[in-house]
Amino acid sequence: MGAGVLPHAHKDGSPPPEGLPDDLGRPGAGNIPDCQSCGGCCAWSETWPVLMGSRDGEGIPEDLIDMDNERMQSYGHRCAALEGRIGQQVGCSVYAVRPLVCREFKAGSDDCLMVRRELGLDRA
């Protein structure tokens, strides 16, 4: 997948930020998968998530940002801020200040379901 296609919701169990639907990533909310036991979109591409505009990424520690390419640092395809084990239990270490594209990526969207399918997470 190229840049700009991706993530999501709340991975730390906290209430969703203002302005987001309250069922994003909540287990058992219709067919919406649970982000906290997934993490697929956070480990999908080394070129994602990108930072959009000058203020995006404010508050994120510098060592987690790839300044040259204006995106999150990654280990392989895995975002440097992703904690835990994909497909089991994950969290975002910068959740409160995560990039805009992460805020806008919707659990249960076509892109979400495609990522989960490609990574075999929909069989978990």
Task: Give me the residues that bind ligand SF4 (CB under 6 A), please.
Answer: 7-9, 25, 33, 35, 38-42, 49, 72, 79, 81-82, 92, 94, 98-99, 102, 105, 107, 112, 115-116
Which residues make Cβ contacts (< 8 Å) with residue 22, sequence separation at least 6?
15, 16
CB 86 to ligand SF4: min, Å: 9
State which residue, 79 or 88, has the beta carbon closest to ligand SF4: 79
Q: At which residue do the structure tokens 């080394």 appear?
A: 46
CB 14 to ligand SF4: min, Å: 13
